[in-house]
A and B are shown apart, each in its own frame.
Chain A
Amino acid sequence: MAATRAGTRAREIFTSLEYGPVPESHACALAWLDTQDRCLGHYVNGKWLKPEHRNSVPCQDPITGENLASCLQAQAEDVAAAAEASRTALENWSGLPGASRAQHLTRLAKMIQKHQRLLWTLESLVTGRAVREVRDRDVPLAQQLLQYYAVQAHIQEEALAGWEPMGVIGLILPPMFSFLEMMWRICPALAVGCTVVVLVPLGSPTPLLLAQLAGELGSFPGILNMISGPASLGPVLASQPGVQKVVFCGAVEGGLRLLIQESVWDETMRRLQARMGCLRGGRGLDGAVDMGARGAAAHALAQRYVCEAQSQGAQVFQAGDVPSDSPFFPPTLISDLPPASPCTQAEVPWPLVVASPFRTAKEALAMANGTPRGGSASVWSERLGQALDLGYRLQMGTVWINAHGLRDPAVPTGGCKESGSSWHGGLDGLYEYLRPSGTPAWLPYLSENLNYDIFGLAVPSTLPAGSETGPGPAPPFGLFVGGRFQAPGARSSRPIQDSHGNLHGYVAEGGAKDIRGAVEAAHQAAPGWVGQSPGTRAALLWALAAALERRESTLVSRLERQGVELKAAKAEVELSVRRLRAWGARSQTQGHSLQVAELRGPVLRLREPLGVLAIVCPDEWPLLAFVSLLAPALAYGNTVVLVPSGTCPFPALEVCQDMATLLPVGLVNVVTGDRDHLTRCLALHQDVQALWYFGSAQGSQFVEWASAGNLKPVWVNRGYRRAWDQEAEGAGSELELRAARTKSLWLPMGD
């Protein structure tokens, strides 16, 4: 009986004390693939969809290259079928009481729990990621996400009154991703009553398995549909009728940049290298492996970066001996990269770490903020005051103090700059899939006549338009930039007519240079305004409200000349005053702290200013819309470049006279002129951090297209008029959400 089972290697291991393989059986993953005859289609409306005559792409083990299954590549009609199923399911699903949706999500969480081994072995098998990462982190977090959003669905009717689900949501996943990233997006969408079509990259079976698990719950089969296909189907998905929003995410796990203070550089590098030497790479399905492999493409990317860094003079430290033909890439630490070298600017691929020294915290902050990326960062220091200061000033969606990579369903995760402006997790994650009740649904209609190259490019010339005399004093003239009225760069003016077609007055014809000047002025004012306490901001908004009251008669007469009746004009001024006061009060209550599982200490949900916010006001409600947009922007600490109503810019310019005396220089800049032209200048400006546009459908389309240049968050009305005098549309929580971005600041405690 003895000896038979005992190995002969024990002697060697006794001496070397090597680690051995801890293989995780993936038999169940293979068995599941067998149920599909090793051919994966799409999962639509609770059923597998395997259309004929489709190309298929192999799904491979990234380490052995073994063919695990083949995946059918979707065509446009398959996408249409999935969108159709989602549309059909939407009616039932969105009409359910939140409590019923909550129950369904809870059932899905339980379903995942029951099949978790299948889930983690399949995910690890096909992605090559370390199984313990998937098993110990991703799978539990997926369940927690479902639970968290089930609770939110349960209280939706009270907590989210005034909001309704957007409708069908399209989700496009990148080639390398974790199924968890999908869960961060689909859980809130499903919770609020949306249905989802996911475009999964070919060769990623885990989302299909999840869809099957959801489908096997029986009821509501069409709420989650998966289509397997190339990213080129994205536009097809976006243009499906009923699809209200398309969400996409980039490759998730990148390399890291590490900034180390010079005084501790040597010590830190030594410890880092020692620790990297202890990391174990290997097959993902090994329970004792820290790093798996990500397939040939990721390997090549990392290798290319290392070679380039070396040629640019960098030092490269690689832990362990990994043969060059191995699918595994060793943990790699790159240092001494010259600051201006291309590698320093480029995104660092997984699993590389690029370390650079800094002298002072101020310098570190400048280096960290000096990139187009703004996802997440961690600050490590025992000087808590300094760490917190950095935490607040880093332009990132998430900052961890003395920790890294923690996530929790209750904590919003977002980004700024090119890392995107949407949030997952927490309540912020819910609003991504909601729209204010009564807002018209978005039609997937894009004007093909719109020529992006010439929209708003030329300004029509303006000529003298008759006698300027009329009732009342002459309106103020000039562009309000940097705290005073200035002549426009073009030195020309445009006539504004009153409701009878008579000349009301001239306004300055602003252009590209004026926009540039206004944005500069706004940037200069930003640090001062951000540093103001909410109390100070509130006081200024209230002072402005008082000034508006004093100016009531002038404002009323300006509105009257544009054809507003006396009573309505008075009401508009009065409501504008109220709006300023209300936003002043609201600026005092921003941000809150969250308590999360598995962490002692709070997570702060901060509401931070977007930066320089450009606002193109609607033509209608020339005073009220102007104030309703300006007030939240200021309350949340933004500085503003604003284009007032085109048909009636005078009330806004009247208010500028008060702003000149009350507000800090450059905080608000008002530029008049050709709206299309000014919109073009603002949308194409890379240093404008956000843009709100209320104008034509074409203008909206242009703004969305042009703003992609720096991925600035935009808010456009697509040509629809808003009821600015109604509380919901004129002062609702939508404005509050749009006027600031969320940052999560994690503060773990310990003794």
Chain B
Amino acid sequence: MAAQNPGTELDLSWISKIQVNQPAVLRRAEQIQARRTVKKEWQAAWLLKAVTFIDLTTLSGDDTSSNIQRLCYKAKYPIREDLLKALNMHDKDITTAAVCVYPARVCDAVKALKAAGCTIPVASVATGFPAAQTHLKTRLEEIRLAVEDGAMEIDVVINRTLVLTGQWEGSDFIKTSTGKETVNATFPVAIVMLRAIRDFFWKTGNKVGFKPAGGIRSAKDSLAWLSLIKEELGDEWLKPELFRIGASTLLSDIERQIYHHVTGRYAAYHDLPMC
């Protein structure tokens, strides 16, 4: 993750000045989804691009080294080779942006990726994910351990008690939610966050990244998210350093769509490798 927010003086007036016109945000959210569709080659290319933004994630209580290994292999080979060849994209080294696991599984992931011979970073949720209701000391220790195990990126759950009482924290990347909430990445919320990123950029020149997570399951959803970033922040944010999609099942739907684009047929469940 290249982007680094060097930070600025905390100026709470920036926050207190922010006003959100909710009905207008809702309308904008609807519009972007309706007005910005891509078809045919554009769709295929955009979907492949979306793959490169995915933090391929497994955050289950029953994760073991075997399914982590499978996940890492899928991260390295997200789309069937023959499909990529048909699109003349086989030499573009298309992989997901990262794999994202619990701290205790970082070791497994690093090992599996090394075995697959690739440099995809391992991201780890740390700091008492998903509630963050643990002591600061253990949260910091958790990060330290994950980094020691080889995690390159850490998704920190901020202490929402502090936020709700007006004590803010800075970051390089902001994420819509943990993905474990009842409501996760929604367009209206994303619009507000993206505009905060844009305002911060206009004010300081620093680019903060954005990661929607949770509930992004279909290829169509992922295209809408790409359009949203393109519309609100511009093309310069459309790179893995500044945009990620946290998802677990999205990739298989994208692969199915690519399959359909290439072959003109809808794939059977067994046509595509599982992750």
| Residues of A near any B CB (own CB < 8 A) | 1-3, 5-14, 17-22, 132, 136, 270, 278, 287-290, 382, 402-403, 599-601, 748-751
Contact = CB atoms under 8 A, between A and B. Distances in A.
B49 interface: yes
Contacts of B235: 17
A125 B26 CA distance: 29
A5 B41 CA distance: 9
Contacts of A599: 23
B269 interface: no
Given A2-B82, A10-B87, A13-B46, A20 B41 contact: yes
A749 B44 contact: no
B19 interface: yes
Nearest to B230: A17
Nearest to A18: B42
B35 A288 contact: yes
Contacts of B37: 22, 287-288
Contacts of B89: 10-11, 14
B132 interface: no
B41 to A, nearest CB: 4
Contacts of A2: 82-83, 85-86, 262-263
A601 B24 CA distance: 13
A107 B197 CA distance: 50
B235 to A, nearest CB: 6
Given A2-B86, A8-B88, A13 B23 contact: no
Contact of B42 (A8, A11, A20): A20
A600 B23 contact: yes
A331 to B, nearest CB: 14
30 contacts: A2-B262, A3-B262, A6-B44, A6-B87, A6-B261, A6-B262, A7-B41, A7-B87, A8-B88, A9-B45, A10-B44, A10-B45, A10-B48, A14-B45, A14-B49, A14-B89, A19-B36, A20-B39, A20-B42, A22-B37, A270-B202, A278-B231, A287-B37, A288-B35, A402-B21, A403-B23, A403-B27, A601-B23, A749-B23, A750-B22
Nearest to A130: B35
A290 B32 CA distance: 10
A12 B42 CA distance: 10
A13 B22 contact: no
A20 B38 contact: yes
Contact of B41 (A1, A10, A270): A10
A17 B53 CA distance: 13
Nearest to B27: A403
A751 B231 CA distance: 24
Contacts of A14: 45, 48-49, 89, 92
A748 B46 CA distance: 36
Contacts of A1: 263-264
B264 A5 contact: yes
A6 B83 CA distance: 9
B174 interface: no
A642 to B, nearest CB: 45
B23 A748 contact: yes
A412 to B, nearest CB: 21
B34 interface: yes
A135 B25 CA distance: 21
B226 interface: yes
B35 A13 contact: no
Main secondary structure of the interface of B (DSSP, over half): helix
B40 interface: yes
Contacts of A601: 23
Contacts of A8: 88
Interface of B: 19-27, 34-42, 44-46, 48-49, 82-83, 85-89, 92, 202, 226, 230-231, 235, 238, 261-264
A9 B46 CA distance: 12
B41 A9 contact: yes
List the 4 shortest-distance A-B pairs measured between CB atoms, nearest first: A750-B22, A20-B42, A13-B45, A7-B41
A132 B49 contact: no
B22 A22 contact: no
B14 to A, nearest CB: 13
Given A9-B41, A402-B24, A290 B35 contact: yes
Contacts of B87: 6-7, 10-11
A11 B92 contact: yes
Given A1-B264, A5-B262, A11-B88, 6 more contacts: A1-B263, A6-B261, A10-B45, A14-B92, A601-B23, A748-B23
Contacts of A278: 231
Nearest to A600: B23
Between B45, B226, B231, the greatest number of chain A beta carbons within 10 A of the residue's beta carbon is seen for: B45
A600 B83 CA distance: 47
Nearest to B238: A17
A748 B226 CA distance: 29
Nearest to B265: A1
A19 B85 CA distance: 23
A571 B226 CA distance: 78
A687 to B, nearest CB: 37
Nearest to A23: B39
Contacts of B45: 9-14, 17
Contacts of B40: 7, 20
Contacts of B19: 382
A19 B23 contact: no
A619 to B, nearest CB: 55
Nearest to B25: A750
B80 to A, nearest CB: 10
Contacts of A132: 34-35
Nearest to B232: A278
A21 B37 CA distance: 9
A19 B40 CA distance: 11
Contacts of A20: 38-42
Contacts of B85: 2-3
A17 B49 contact: yes
B21 A13 contact: no
A69 to B, nearest CB: 29
B244 to A, nearest CB: 16
A169 to B, nearest CB: 34
A591 B253 CA distance: 54
A1 to B, nearest CB: 6
Contacts of A19: 36, 38, 42
Nearest to B94: A14
Given A6-B88, A6-B261, A402-B24, A13 B42 contact: yes
A132 B33 CA distance: 12
Contacts of B230: 17
Contacts of A287: 35, 37
Nearest to A8: B88
A290 B31 CA distance: 10
A165 B57 CA distance: 67
Contacts of B263: 1-2, 5
B49 A5 contact: no
Nearest to B20: A750
Contacts of B25: 750
A20 B92 CA distance: 21
Contacts of A289: 35
Nearest to A135: B34
Contacts of B82: 2
Between A14, A136, A600, the greatest number of chain B beta carbons within 10 A of the residue's beta carbon is seen for: A14
Nearest to B45: A13
B118 to A, nearest CB: 19
Contacts of B26: 750
Contact of B88 (A10, A18, A288): A10
